[in-house]
A and B are shown apart, each in its own frame.
Chain A
């Protein structure tokens, strides 16, 4: 006890002063586990998130759009690698985290369990999904865990590029033909509510919030971030000329915020529970890539071992 208490005190002081916990610092096991889970799930989201947009790379309707989309999906792979590395500073292992993902033992963002059904979805994902991700992640640039906070700074910069690219695609499409405008509206209709669900369950139903706030792992509640996202998105929808699919959406001067309708929490529960439109497909796809690549990774390891042995003479 006598050795733990000063360490515990130092940890708590570090958090209280908004300084960062670094990999070699002492930390409570609960903090370590929570961080590994949070970073791991974030990494999984980046990697699974490549699929819905990757779905349109080969069919992109212009070579410029194709290059932008390809670069974006490639960025997401980079984000995933960067985050897995951050998790590894806590003693986790990328291969082990990947196993957990493909065995369905760890989650990723619910939004990627929705299908992408037209090229407008690429734009709407950039605008709303990367947008919601930014809302969620910008506060994490001040996460108490140093490597995660630093990863988030770099990632948020790229996410905001993605968001602007998505919005610019939608702007261009809205200036195009009627068919294009319908395509954009239909994509907004499908992605608006799932985007609101990205902030997680309502505060009264959220179990981890209190401890995570105390540890500086989480800085705003789900409902605060969701409200912020709605407030920021409404003027952008207006500028774009699309209608957000919520009849209850209305400015409330008293609150200084937009009121909005009730999210279908049963749908979110179904998606989180594994029954979203694409859960099975997304995990099976990731698992197939991982399994199909096993012989390649084994060969690389075997070659490296042989080369190391040869170098020793």
Chain B
């Protein structure tokens, strides 16, 4: 190799070719580029947009909580795995937010929706907002979240909205990996040592009150017949998976009661826990400090 070849990578920097390879699939500016985003006949665009925000916000906020683990994981393999999962969910969020902004004809792009909405406009479930106390809580929540979302996306593959169906088809592969990763760790920690067993049980106990909310049907879902998935129908499937993992791990299914709502309103209605305000303060800080900037 000659010296000039050796340093070719560096010299190539100022060449003005637009090579998308180096973005590793993260560099796209339009999450739905090339996709026909026409809202199908008979589907209410505003309702569809709201539904996309629900699913998109779940992924966006949970990805944020996973991002907070980066450089803090117990092993380097976990750094890369958690980074992968956070990236997958971020990718899902980008597509769903972009879909929402087209479907409701407001023209808001993914960044407008992520960085410039108020807390009460976020439609995510309360489960995704918490800050993990430790690695046991992380894998407990990841198991519940990914099992639920996988069942949901599996159903969405036949959605009457072809864009949602395509997003779901891609997401199913990712979520299958997320669920397997979480299940393996729940089993390891449940079975490992007395300390890890106790921490794993405590992690499950802490998040369990937030599980019920996942299966509470919302009027928006009900109004999108054939497009949205009825979450009530997912409960059995999710329970079977969770019970199997917990039994393998030697853990008990927590008996804790569901967290109450406020006159029936919870995350999907924009009524959140105190934790979300801090997530948004961090997530939105730079974008809001420079509202005219381009990044």
CB-contact partner of A68 in B27, B70, B83, B286, under 8 A: B27
Chain B neighbourhood of A64, CB < 8 A: 26-29, 94, 295
Q: Note all chain A residues with C-beta closer than 8 A to B110.
A: 63
CB within 8 Å for A71 and B87 given contacts A292-B134, A296-B189:
yes
User: A20 → chain B, closest Cβ, in Å?
Assistant: 14
B167-223 interface (Cβ within 8 A of A) = 187-189, 191-193, 195-196, 199
The listed residue (B75, B78, B90, B191) touching A306 by CB distance below 8 A is B191
A63 to B96, CA, bound (A): 12
The answer to whether A80 touches B76, judged by C-beta atoms less than 8 angstroms apart, is: yes
B155 close to chain A: CB less than 8 A: no
The answer to whether A232 touches B10 (Cβ under 8 A) is yes
Q: Does B67 lie within 8 Å of A172, measured CB to CB?
A: no
Indicate which residue in A58, A127, A134 contacts B283 across the interface (CB closer than 8 Å).
A58
- Bound form: Cα–Cα A80–B293 in Å: 34
Q: Name the residue of chain B whose CB is nearest to the CB of A78.
A: B80
Other than the given A73-B70, A299-B188, A303-B191, 4 more pairs (CB < 8 A) read: A51-B71, A142-B1, A160-B12, A165-B23
Q: Does chain B have a CB within 8 A of A250?
A: no
Counting chain B CB atoms within 10 Å of each CB, which of A47, A66, A285 scores highest?
A: A66
B282 contact set on A, CB distance < 8 A: 58-59
Q: Is the CB of B90 within 8 A of A67?
A: yes
For A177, what are the chain B residues with a Cβ–Cβ distance below 8 Å? 290, 292-293
Query: Does residue A4 face the partner (Cβ distance < 8 Å to B)?
Result: no
Kindly list chain A residues whose C-beta atoms are within 8 Å of the C-beta of B9.
134, 138, 156-157, 159-160, 163
B interface with A by C-beta (< 8 Å): 1, 6-7, 9-14, 19, 21-24, 26-29, 64, 67-68, 70-80, 83-84, 86-87, 90-91, 93-94, 97, 110-111, 114-115, 134-135, 187-189, 191-193, 195-196, 199, 282-283, 285-287, 290, 292-295
Q: Which residue of A lies closest to B15 (CB)?
A: A164
Q: Is the CB of A172 within 8 A of B294?
A: yes
CA distance A288 to B134 in the complex (A): 12
| Chain A contacts with B in 289-313, Cβ cutoff 8 A | 289-290, 292-303, 306
| Chain A contacts to B: CB under 8 angstroms | 47, 50-51, 54, 57-68, 70-71, 73-74, 77-78, 80-81, 84, 119, 127, 131, 134-135, 138-139, 141-142, 156-157, 159-161, 163-165, 167, 169, 172-173, 175-177, 179-180, 228, 232, 235-236, 239, 285-286, 288-290, 292-303, 306
| 10 A-B pairs in the complex with CB atoms less than 8 angstroms apart | A59-B282, A59-B285, A63-B94, A63-B110, A70-B67, A70-B87, A119-B286, A165-B22, A173-B295, A236-B13
Asked if A298 meets B196 with Cβ closer than 8 Å, knowing A70-B90, A131-B10, the reply is yes
Contact (Cβ within 8 A) B83 A58: no
Check if A303 sits within 8 Å of B188, measured CB to CB: yes
Ranked 9 nearest A-B pairs via Cβ: A293-B74, A299-B192, A299-B196, A74-B83, A67-B26, A296-B74, A160-B9, A161-B22, A77-B79
A119 nearest in chain B by CB position: B286
The interface residues of chain B lying within 8 Å CB-to-CB of A301 are: 192
A295:B196 contact, CB within 8 angstroms: yes
Contact of A67 with B14 in the complex, beta carbons under 8 Å: no
Give Cα distance in the complex from A54 to B79, angstroms. 12
CB distance from B214 to the nearest CB of A (A): 24
State in angstroms the CA–CA spacing of A260 and B29 once bound together: 39
Residues of A contacting B192 in the complex (Cβ-Cβ under 8 angstroms):
298-303
Q: Which residue of chain A is the closest to B199 with respect to CB atoms?
A: A295
Contact of A161 among B24, B68, B187 (CB under 8 A): B24
